[in-house]
Amino acid sequence: MKNVQVNAIHLKDYIAPSFLVNHVDLEFILEPKKTIVTSWLKLTRNPDVGGPLVLDGDELRLLSIKVDGKLLETSKYAQDNSSLTVDGLPDTCVLEIKTEIDPALNTQLEGLYLSGGNFCTQCEAEGFRRITFYPDRPDVMATYTVTMHADLKSHPVLLSNGNLIDQGVGKNGKHWARWHDPFPKPCYLFALVAGDLACYEDSYHSGSGQDVALKIFVEHGNEDKCAYAMDALKRSMRWDEERFGLEYDLSIFNIVAVSDFNMGAMENKSLNIFNSKCVLASSDTATDLEFERIEAIVAHEYFHNWTGNRVTCRDWFQLSLKEGLTVYRDQEFTSDMRSAPVKRIQDVRTLRARQFPEDAGPLSHPIRPETYIEINNFYTATIYEKGAEVIRMMQEILGRDGFRKGVDLYFERHDNQAVTCEDFVVAMEDANDVDLKHFRLWYSQAGTPEVDTTWSYDEVNKSFTLNLTQYTPVAHGQEGKRPLHIPMTVGLVGRDGKDLPLILEGEEGKQGETSKTLRFDQEQQSFTFISVDQCPVPSINRNFSSPIKLSTTYSDDDLRFLMENDSDAFSRWDASQNYATRLVLRMVKTIQEGTELEYDSNYAQALARNIADETLDPAFLAQMLSLPSIDYVAEQMQVADFAAVDQARTFLKAGIARELYEQFLELYMCGKENTAYSPDAVSAGKRAIRNVALGFLGTLKNDPKGLDLIVGQYEVSDNMTDRMAALTLLASMEGEVGEKALKSFEQRYSHDTLVMDKWFAVQAISKIPDTLGQVKNLLTHPAFSYKNPNKVRALIGSFTGANPAKFHADNGEGYRFLADSIIHLNGINPQVASRLLSPLGGWRRMDGNHQKMMKAELQRILDTENLSKDVFEVASKSLA
Ligand code: 0A1
Ligand code: ZN
């Protein structure tokens, strides 16, 4: 490591701020290379805490400081490269600070920067300190008045948080606007936008009769791609009133879409800033999945208005307080808008693909971490997705009404406060008069619990006993794991495929339930059901009631039985995944032993019975027919062998395609619709099943019919979902057919930067022999830029994160490519660089040869001059 100043922050060191800020006045004179920021902070000493005022600052040029209007002598303050300390201040005063910043040079995209010539900000987590000196911590909450001056011609739109209270035209072609936000907020929710933007407008009439002006600002020419996001916003506003009784609290709500953005979107008070990828959609440019994602992200950011903004986090260790809860809320919203089981399946797929590996690897941390070096590295699947699972378990334990009572009490107690995860759990406890002390362990203990199950049926006593054992593996830095309180939902499926009534021993009074949530909170526990008149197949962890890894003694027959009969859609799908994973792993062993692969047709037959079941929702059937990913299967191995998994999975897929050829053709033909494209869930489900069928047909080499269908679909489809599904298959075909399609796509969409991201990604995940060579060539394509996070993720991220068989190539060139990319990006955008790193952290699960190469690349990254904190933290933890 060279030139890195490492300073770990610990939760146990939390102390309240020495000064509070009651109000902030900000003035911006906006110029791309030289912006002058003046702040007037109305300060009050915090009576509980002594010490000087310490303000954070990063890459700021200090011009002057005044206290109550008087210039402060230089001896009264001290400055280093990250802070400004002012001693001897009166208990209340107004501190005036003038600074200069250079937005044009800001390639980190934190603080104030330029995107396509427009000024915009990103302050979470610690970007505000790159705008002005300030106590940049979420427990300092203030009201804001913001005045900005800019060139009228080039930057006609001037926006900030709250309400527009004044505006005018100045001299020399300048104009100005003043905004006031009446709600106290931490500075990470501050936002400013100045630019030349088109506006798509609508309005919302709230349940209590308030009118809210809704505006989406986009680059000129994109106005026709805002309708879906706007509709999603209005549905979110209505849903939050109906489900949680939460109304919007201002008369204006703005969304701005920018092309250069590190994440998906940001919930700044009343001025959400979005990655344009998460707003813009039309049938010709966005896939069904992207429409769904836009809906979810618009909802997520809107829901933050209460869970995050009105009640915020005391410190960044509490990040899951707002993120876990808000993800849970957006998941519930999507379930209500679309198919609940399909949504649950998609969320579990994400959790298993992203959070489980994180929790089993070197970056494992609890949903409330205890230490970090760079907070930007903690916007993780654990904080977000596992955090949402923890909230979901509370709702499972308390019931929907009990959960709602807890949420109501949380807002009653903590509105306009910065609080902790503990405060949320206490509100749940107090509102329901329950004790969740044991449950709290989910907040502090890292790792995915593993639950082993065995069962027995007592023919004589007609009882069924389920034995559960839990164990959480020792994760990085956390020894001595304790048993968790796991809500485990189970059912018993009878021979006729119907659920049996459940009577738990000792609870004879309760009858009629066919699903029951058991309280499993010890290392080992047995649960006996009585009056079970036949030997059932148990259905365990229904609807994924807890985020665990389940190991069972199911026979292949049991899994097929559940695949065809389980009334719980999630468990039915999970049985299918489980079975397919088993088959692929068996074949991997065969490949490794060098013997001939054999195809087992039982799985395809169980799928065939699902295809024949006309009661199934097409969107669900599409999930049933989608094999587990290469990563997921490899994750189940002691030593991952991606090449063998890829080979086995392809063999299985082709076998199924051959066996169910007629069914897939029929699914494809019958699902054809002649109506115009609509992004709604039902239509999307129909396209999903057709494209899954096409994917199977596409695995059959030398099948001209399948190829004709794919090429035909590429050429005639009227929407991006179908076009992209076909292009993905074609891009993995060597020779002219793939090249031709890629060329035509490039020509058709070269003007649309978001669509070009798809073009980059589809080539990065291709199976052709020299995918990496292709990716390297594309780095010099005029549409590619290292400065644009979407481009980097589409091309580099897709190759290293979504093409495991190529990334782990035996010659190590995939690893070298990733390390080179990270080293290059470290100097441009450390956040993006560090987020790309995770695939290298998986070295422990590889064989000795791959391990050596991966570790060498991590070391090469660590040896880089001027390594950012972001990259240093992830690389050093990955190697440790
Ligand atoms: N709070 C936003 C996401 C976000 C997080 C971090 C960022 O910079 C480090 C930017 C945005 C959300 O949950 O949507
Ligand atoms: Zn969020």
pLDDT of residue 220: 98
Distance 856 CA to ligand 2 centre (A): 35
From 124, 219, 290, 301, the catalytic residue: 301
pLDDT of residue 702: 86
* Whether the CB of 870 sits within 6 Å of ligand 1: no
CA torsion 196-201-203-204 (nearest 10°) is -80
Whether 673 is a known active-site residue: answer: no
Distance 428 CA to ligand 1 centre (A): 26
Distance 837 CA to ligand 1 centre (A): 18
Residue 40 · residue 129 · CB < 8 Å: no
53-56 and 61-67: which strand pairing? unpaired
pLDDT of residue 143: 99
- Which atom of ligand 1 is found nearest the CA of 322? 13
Distance CA(414)–CA(310), nearest Å, equals: 8
* Whether the CB of 191 sits within 6 Å of ligand 1: no
Which residue, by CA, sits nearest to atom 6 of ligand 1? 124
524: amino acid identity, one letter: Q
* Whether the CB of 864 sits within 6 Å of ligand 1: no
Entry pTM: 0.98
* Whether the CB of 379 sits within 6 Å of ligand 1: yes
Q: In three state form, how does the secondary structure of 485-554 look?
A: CEEEEEEEECCCCCECCCCECCCCCCCCCCCEEEEECCCEEEEEECCCCCCCEEEECHHHCCCCEEECCC
Q: Is 54 helix (H, G, I), strand (E, B) or coil?
A: strand
Maximum CA pair distance of the chain? 95
Best mutation site among 261, 266, 327, 834 for ligand 1 pocket (most ligand atoms within 8 Å of CB)? 266
- What pLDDT, in 10s, does the model give residues 108-150? 999 999 999 999 999 999 999 999 999 999 999 999 999 999 9
Helix (H) or strand (E) holding 644: helix 642-659
* Whether the CB of 126 sits within 6 Å of ligand 1: no
- Quote ipTM for the complex: 0.99
- Which atom of ligand 1 is found nearest the CA of 110? 8
Best mutation site among 379, 380, 835, 868 for ligand 1 pocket (most ligand atoms within 8 Å of CB)? 379
9-10 and 371-372: which strand pairing? antiparallel
450-458 and 549-551: which strand pairing? parallel
* Whether the CB of 307 sits within 6 Å of ligand 1: no
Q: Looking at the CA of 297, which ligand is closest?
A: 1
Q: Which residues of the chain have pLDDT under 70?
A: 1-5, 476
77-79 and 83-86: which strand pairing? antiparallel
* Whether the CB of 329 sits within 6 Å of ligand 1: no
pLDDT of residue 353: 97
Residue 195 · residue 155 · CB < 8 Å: yes
Which residue, by CA, sits nearest to atom 12 of ligand 1? 266
Distance CA(443)–CA(460), nearest Å, equals: 44
Q: Looking at the CA of 123, which ligand is closest?
A: 1
Distance CA(333)–CA(393), nearest Å, equals: 17
- What pLDDT, in 10s, does the model give residues 39-66? 999 999 999 899 999 999 999 999 999 9
Q: Give the angle 439-443-445 at the CA atoms, nearest 5°.
A: 95
The two counts, helices (H) then strands (E), for the chain are 29, 31
* Whether the CB of 125 sits within 6 Å of ligand 1: yes
pLDDT of residue 480: 85
* Whether the CB of 729 sits within 6 Å of ligand 1: no
Question: To the nearest whole number, what is the mean pLDDT of the chain?
Answer: 97
Distance 384 CA to ligand 2 centre (A): 8
Distance 189 CA to ligand 1 centre (A): 10
Q: On the CB side of 415, how many CA atoms lie within 13 Å of its CA? A: 7
- Nearest C-alpha neighbor of 25 from the set 43, 7, 3, 9: 43
Distance CA(430)–CA(615), nearest Å, equals: 44
* Whether the CB of 121 sits within 6 Å of ligand 1: no
- Nearest C-alpha neighbor of 59 from the set 21, 124, 110, 114: 110
* Whether the CB of 267 sits within 6 Å of ligand 1: yes
Q: Looking at the CA of 376, which ligand is closest?
A: 1
Q: Looking at the CA of 324, which ligand is closest?
A: 2
Distance 794 CA to ligand 2 centre (A): 22
Which residue, by CA, sits nearest to atom 13 of ligand 1? 323
